Structure 1
Amino acid sequence: MTRLDPTSLQLFIAVLEEGTIAAAAEREHIAAAAVSKRISEIESQLRTQLLNRTNKGIEPTAAGIALLGLARRALHELDDISVQMQEYASGMRGHVRIFANISAITQFLPAEIKSFLAEYPQIQVNLEEKISTAVTKAVAENAADIGIFIMQPHGHQLEVFPYHEDKLVLITPADHPLATRKATSFADTLEYDYVGLHTGSTINLQLQNAASELGRLVRFSIQVTSYDALCLMVGSGLGIGILPEGVARTYTKTLRLRTIPLDEPWTRRELKICVRAFDALPVAAKLLVNHLKRQSMEPSSPGKTHD
């Protein structure tokens, strides 16, 4: 059976609303004969009489009344499709996949995504935590629209934009021998056991590389998968740890921890935004990239770290 087209349904609705084919034709700016033909074609396709034609005009049959409701609903849904597609085209509606490392997620993204969604509530943001090497790989392979990572060689063809900076600091239990220092060298910390993050994390790699340059090794008493767990382990006296300053500041408020600056240039890190090609991004993803870039340039506010 041939599918009913929206124009025929609109003409059918007009006939019932106006009461005559002539009046419907005038309203829709089409010849009366063309309207009559369309109605006859619908009846032929449905194999059902829809109208009773009299000298006074037309009257809908029971099938005609049923089709009237169905036709109105169908045209309304078609209009809704058009509206929603226009929202996707303009960026008012959409879905963005963003992969980010734990430092970006814990320090910057909660407030920045919240302010973005306040402006674009119909855009869905899917955020996943990944280590930096996995972030760049996912963006290169189109598994994510946007990535946020610690700047390091990655070997992928990506467009990279500035984001935030952070600074790594040492955290110790309150009664640790290093706890009273105003600053310390990394070499001095290697006398003690560390609580480390999981294998492959950027911070662990930085620690091991820095120790290797000194001809030393980092002794990990335990490795964990989150900043929360690392701080709890340090607070329990299982070792010392290294975290971004913005993260450490949060935990020192609730745990008996001390934060100590490290006199090392490698502790200052650049976080970057990466995409495969900005011009090829969906509009919603472009809006989020631009929002994150603007947020990273704003003056420091409570809860944010701009070292």
Structure 2
Amino acid sequence: MHFDLTDLKVFVCIAEAPSLTQGAKTAFVSPAAASTRLKNLEAQLSSRLFYRHNKGLELTPAGKNLLRHARLMLQYAEQIRTDFSGYAADTQGHIRIYANTTAVIGFLPEILALFLAERPAVSIDLQEQFTKDIIRSVREDAADFGIVSGQIDAPDLQRIHFSTDRLCVAVPQGHELAEHTAVDFQAALAYPHIGFHRGSTLQQYVDEHKQRLGVSTKNRINVSGFESVCRLIEAGVGIGIVPESVIERHRHTMAIVAVPLDDPSAVRERSIILKELDALTPVSRALIERISLHMQAPPPISFQAAFK
């Protein structure tokens, strides 16, 4: 059985897109050519890969199975091209990263800006996801690596710890909680809160604690970035639960105070998770090293050895 890599690439692009037209555009082929390639794949596999309906395409069980294999085959093909390309491998390539909210709108923008400025030929696909989706995507090779915080149940994945942060209650200067040495969730939730939009991993963390404590209050306002949260807190609109590193970044320009959150889960170990470091492309390994160094946490000895 012979597989054309272009057929597989087109199939993956369509599977990850909302429609055949959009998937064909991503794969740089016409919709007609994409449709022909899909039909050829279905004929070769004697399996229907998509259910076709008026809202678009939906993967069949066979299609989901092929998607898993196709991603692996394309990843291996890309690695072969990289290994035999003859150019500085860590200066070209594409990286897909799934990360939590703190990483996406916290420290990653600065790191990626510097990294990409040094490597004009590198492209990065960064997506904000829930922790469970990050773990699943790394397992299924849908992402090169993921960035998570806190404890995770994924013994089958490699984990590289690169920094430690702590969740705090951010309050405006003069707030009655500002003089407290610590505050627990129950006390913090008694005040109006500035939160994050649905889909934020940090908001999910807070909502889970609300559910555990039987608290049903809604956020006074939801925003999408840490700076917006801090500015609203400074203005006295409410308080919020944010990483200590975020408050430290803004406390010199905003009248806000960090009050430690008295909860065991408030200490957040930030880690990179991946299937196998040696299997990643050189540019992916270079970015992982950059993240570790930027966050001032030296990579583990085993990790450093991979770059020698």
TM-score bin (small chain) = 0.5 to 0.7
Cα distance 1:128–1:178, how it changes in 2: closer, same or farther (>3 A)? same
Matched, 1:265 2:277: no
Partner of 1:248: 247
Cα distance 1:268–1:218, how it changes in 2: closer, same or farther (>3 A)? farther
Distance in 2, Cα, partners of 1:122 & 1:288: 14
Identical pairs, percent: 31
Matched, 1:140 2:139: yes
Whether the 8 Å contact between 1:208 and 1:218 is mirrored in structure 2 is no
Q: Which residue identity does 2:171 align to in structure 1? A: T
Q: Which residue identity does 1:203 align to in structure 2? A: L
Cα distance 1:176–1:138, how it changes in 2: closer, same or farther (>3 A)? same
Q: Which residue identity does 1:85 align to in structure 2? A: S
Matched, 1:85 2:88: no
Question: How much does 1:294 deviate?
Answer: 4.4
TM-score (norm: length of structure 1): 0.59
The CA RMSD measured in Å over matched residues stands at: 3.3
Cα distance 1:128–1:207, how it changes in 2: closer, same or farther (>3 A)? closer
Cα distance 1:206–1:129, how it changes in 2: closer, same or farther (>3 A)? closer
Output aligned runs, 1:217-236, within 5 Å.
217-236=216-235
Matched, 1:287 2:298: no
Q: Structure 2: which 5+ residue stretches go unaligned? A: 1-80, 299-308
Q: Which residue identity does 2:282 align to in structure 1? A: V
SS in 2 for 1:87: coil
Distance in 2, Cα, partners of 1:175 & 1:156: 45
Q: What CA deviation, in whole Å up to 9, does each residue of 1:65-104 have, x standing for no partner?
A: xxxxxxxxxxxxxxxx99x92116x434322222322312
Question: How much does 1:117 deviate?
Answer: 4.9
Whether the 8 Å contact between 1:192 and 1:240 is mirrored in structure 2 is yes
Whether the 8 Å contact between 2:101 and 2:201 is mirrored in structure 1 is no
Cα distance 1:151–1:189, how it changes in 2: closer, same or farther (>3 A)? closer
Cα distance 1:134–1:225, how it changes in 2: closer, same or farther (>3 A)? farther
Question: How much does 1:230 deviate?
Answer: 1.8
Distance in 2, Cα, partners of 1:283 & 1:239: 45
Question: How much does 1:241 deviate?
Answer: 0.3
Q: Structure 1: which 5+ residue stretches go unaligned? A: 1-80, 300-307
SS in 1 for 2:147: strand
Distance in 2, Cα, partners of 1:111 & 1:226: 15
Q: What CA deviation, in whole Å up to 9, does each residue of 1:10-41 have, x standing for no partner?
A: xxxxxxxxxxxxxxxxxxxxxxxxxxxxxxxx
Cα distance 1:139–1:184, how it changes in 2: closer, same or farther (>3 A)? same
Question: How much does 1:167 deviate?
Answer: 0.6
Distance in 2, Cα, partners of 1:136 & 1:249: 29
Question: How much does 1:247 deviate?
Answer: 0.7
Cα distance 1:96–1:239, how it changes in 2: closer, same or farther (>3 A)? same
TM-score (norm: length of structure 2): 0.59
SS in 1 for 2:254: coil
Partner of 1:158: 157
Q: What CA deviation, in whole Å up to 9, does each residue of 1:180-209 have, x standing for no partner?
A: 333322222222121111224232233233
Distance in 1, Cα, partners of 2:223 & 2:115: 32
Q: Which residue identity does 1:160 align to in structure 2? A: R
Greater C-alpha Rg: 1
Question: How much does 1:218 deviate?
Answer: 4.6
Cα distance 1:218–1:208, how it changes in 2: closer, same or farther (>3 A)? farther
